[in-house]
Amino acid sequence: MNCPAGGVELQLLPLHDITVVALEQAVAAPFATRQLADLGARVIKVERPGRGDFARDYDRRTKGLSAYFVWVNRGKESVALDLKAEGDRALLDRLLARADVFVQNLAPGAAGRLGLGSDALRARHPRLITCDLSGYGAEGPYRDKKAYDLLVQCEAGLVSLTGDAGAPARPGISIADIAGGMYTYTGILTALYERERTGEGTALSVSLFDALAEWMGQPYFAEAYGGAPLTRSGARHPSISPYGHYRCGDGGQVFLSVQNDREWTALCERVLRRPGLVRDPRFADNPLRRSHDDELTAAIEEHFAPHTADGVAALLDGAGIANARLRTVAEFTAHPQLAARDRWREFGSPAGPLRGLLPPVEVRGREAAMRAVPALGEHTDAVRAEFAAPGGTAAAASEAGEDRRPAG
């Protein structure tokens, strides 16, 4: 069935013969299916006619396109279907009959009302892998509660840990969506592997809340068994010291991290030139250093005061102490490591060529598919023709789908 958008030959990629039908919107599910597309899967994204995935309208910052949509929808085919119209629904059923994976993150209960619940689909298509991505899971008092990224972060306790003593802060990226998307992605890969052995598909479910709850494991154990609530620490590490940002004489800042006693000794002796700090009772081990972090910070910044940030970074590198500069997004874009490793690629979009990064997982000898971001409904006619009803025509299928009431 695989015939990727743009006719690009992808047989060498790991998922070249896998077809995914995605009834998806926003960030989490699209992020998962984009990973599959990058590995060569054919991802057919079903959108509402005239409106599409509402993430298309989040902003206009990428040549008039939504930065969110561009980020998570590269390499897919967009098919605009009204699932309350008989012809369009029949077309979706034909797609599913030949698909390997079905992913949906509609509002709670919507897939079931459309006859697209996992039990119903797998009864008809035993080899189909279904994945339902929800906000809070299929049961419990929050089952029907609307779930958006920042709100899930709040419910999972993450926002209580970000920011500084004055106020909490939202992390700069969509952490709950990314967590949910990555568990969806890895769950699907696991199910595909299992199907190779058993011949049977399976039903997966992932919730944003559960995904982020897993990522809250360290704070949970630290507070539940540590005897005191955790507090916000800004850009400093809440458990390790020294680990954070330190002012230098030119007004710049250097971030550094000491992870063990060997590194602590190297910092004191080779960078700060104060070997006596190694055995200072305030700083004898990491918990003590964290308890006296303000005093330790003052000692470090006193030594850094005569130096520029670049000079401090050189001292730290020479002593084998991990360090970093705080870069802006623009500075990250120009990062020498990305340039040296040739990580940037160009891909298409309705607004013209865009530049983006290769996916993190490298398959030796094969490069990820960096196919275009689709316009709304760009592939509808081609998919109608490819999946026309037996004995019918693409035109007849199209006419049957002309009733374009809002999808449920």
**Residue positions annotated with a catalytic role:** 237
Strand 129-134, strand 203-207: pairing: parallel
Q: Which of 290, 289, 291, 269 has its CA nearest to residue 280? A: 289
Q: Which of 249, 295, 248 has its CA nearest to residue 274? A: 295
> Token match 């305030």: residue?
282
Q: Which of 378, 381, 102, 256 has its CA nearest to residue 264? A: 256
Tokens of 184: 């969806």
Distant-in-sequence, close-in-space partners of 136: CB < 8 Å, separation ≥ 6? 142, 143, 145, 147, 152, 155, 207, 208, 209
> Which ranges constitute the DSSP H helices of 246-365?
261-266, 286-291, 293-304, 309-318, 329-333, 336-340
Do 232 and 162 form a contact (C-beta atoms < 8 A)? yes
